[in-house]
Amino acid sequence: MAILICKNIETEGPGTIEDYLRLKNIPYKIVELSTGEALPNSDNFNTLIMMGGHMSVNESEIYPYIREEEKLVRDFISKRKKILGVCLGAQIMAKALGSRVYAGHQKEVGWYDVELTIDGVKDPLMQKLAIHPDEGDFWKRFKVFHWHGETFDIPEGAVRLARSDLYPNQAFRYGSNAYAFQFHIEVTKEMVYEWFSATGGSVCGGKNEPVDIEKLKNDTEKFYNVYRDRAINFYKGFFSS
């Protein structure tokens, strides 16, 4: 069995997720949905990964493959297969499970803290994300990379795992092995810089003001390596469980 990775736009790939799968020789297939590539038979996969994108989950009339991803979510959950949704992928999971997805009161772009909820602290995989990879201590609150302007309600039956100062719903788990992250766990350092370069510096951040590119670079250099290693620790648990 293999990992199915759904890309909603070409620029938002699996990043460190793909790096980890290659390192561990775990078979995977990436589907470029925005180019019209058809989804393969889901029976051949035991894990679904859904990446981010600039579009809204509510724009399925424009991007009909979003509906196909919603169907995949329900299919994988019904078969108790693993799912990881990132940013738009998390919003697709929320909508597929019956929750509302809507615009937040302001954008969240850059390096901001998330804080684990009580359930997040208890969750074995979130514990792996929260343990500092160098120091070994448990951080209930830590930096992650955000790039989103929409949010979701927590689906009925799901467990809220994390929050931020701007968005109360940053992560949830549905069942035992379906995880949704509003933040971008997968980014490489190069992806961060490429995304900001593509905006021409015009993107807005946490106060709906233009992002300070120099601060973004400094924050990335300061926080990235630990963040990447936190992500790898999460992957170790997620892909082996």
pLDDT-derived band at 182, boundaries 50, 70, 90: very high
**Alpha carbon 45 to chain centroid, angstroms:** 19
Mean pLDDT across the chain:
93
Structural contact between residues 26 and 17, judged by C-beta atoms closer than 8 angstroms: no
Tell me the β-bridge partners of 205. Answer: none
d(CA 94, CA 186): 19
Q: Residue 201: pLDDT above 70?
A: no
How would you class 18 by CB atoms within 10 Å of its CB: exposed for 0-12, middle for 13-18, buried for 19 or more? middle
How would you class 123 by CB atoms within 10 Å of its CB: exposed for 0-12, middle for 13-18, buried for 19 or more? buried
Domains plus CATH for the chain? 2-240 (3.40.50.880)
Q: Is the pTM of this model over 0.85?
A: yes
Q: What is the mean pLDDT of residues 75-83?
A: 97
- Report pLDDT for 197: 81
Q: Residue 32: pLDDT above 90?
A: yes
Beta-strand pair 158-163/171-174? antiparallel
DSSP string, 58-118: T-TTT-THHHHHHHHHHHHHHTT-EEEEETHHHHHHHHHTT--EEEEEEEEEEEEEEEE-H
